[in-house]
A and B are shown apart, each in its own frame.
Chain A
Amino acid sequence: DAGVIQSPRHEVTEMGQEVTLRCKPISGHNSLFWYRQTMMRGLELLIYFNNNVPIDDSGMPEDRFSAKMPNASFSTLKIQPSEPRDSAVYFCASSPPRGANSPLHFGNGTRLTVT
């Protein structure tokens, strides 16, 4: 099992540019989560998909952020335009369809720096 795969591992971009983060969940997992981690705020849930459908996007900070899951094996998180305060580590995680006790399996994260 390859685990959750995220790309890129590191992204450095200038303010105002579009940033796209990618995630491939573990095969057979039907839930996918995007989190953002900073020293100040810890791990924040941004959006949660179940069976490719967004269930809760209340954590998305503002309209500059959008996420899609066109199929069971791929998701993107897009920031347009990016700002320095978006600098953080972005994690994608997936979990299997086994109910409330299903743990999350995290990808290695994308470290985003916006200058």
Chain B
Amino acid sequence: QKEVEQNSGPLSVPEGAIASLNCTYSDRGSQSFFWYRQYSGKSPELIMFIYSNGDKEDGRFTAQLNKASQYVSLLIRDSQPSDSATYLCAVRDSTLGRLYFGRGTQLTVWP
């Protein structure tokens, strides 16, 4: 399977801070990238996707993509305790359209 690497964490930030989550991938031909959030005992839910180099903003979330460096990140501004979850990076491969996931970064936002 194609490699999608994330820092497993845990990442701990205070409420109101910016949380920065990073992901690298091995398939240089990948075209689309997704961030999912997974609460303990629940299924992954989509936060946002990005397919063009640069930044994409949606509310408190900003995804950043750098295809040359094969790097994608997620910034969470004004972090809230409710953001505490595992964040999964996913990459759609360039051949068959399969979606590969990293192992996730566990984020804790403390009040």
Contacts and interface: CB of A to CB of B under 8 A. Distances in A.
A104 B99 CA distance: 8
Nearest to A106: B43
A96 to B, nearest CB: 12
A100 interface: yes
Interface in B89-103: 90, 92, 96-103
B88 A43 contact: yes
B43 A42 contact: no
Contact of A101 (B43, B51, B96): B51
Interface string A75-115: 00000000000000001000000001101111111000000
A109 B41 CA distance: 9
Contact of A48 (B42, B44, B96): B96
A101 B48 CA distance: 10
A56 interface: yes
Interface size class of B (residues with CB under 8 A): 20 to 34
A106 B44 contact: yes
B43 A108 contact: yes
Contact of B43 (A56, A58, A107): A107
B49 interface: yes
Interface of B: 1, 31-32, 34, 42-46, 49, 51, 88, 90, 92, 96-104
Given A31-B97, A100-B97, A103-B49, A45 B1 contact: yes
A33 to B, nearest CB: 7
A57 to B, nearest CB: 11
Interface residues of A, number: 24
7 contacts: A33-B98, A42-B103, A56-B96, A103-B49, A105-B46, A108-B42, A108-B43
Interface string A45-70: 10010100001101100000000000
Contacts of A108: 42-43
Nearest to A35: B101
Contact of A91 (B43, B96, B97): B43
Contact of A44 (B1, B32, B96): B1
Given A43-B44, A106-B43, A56 B102 contact: no
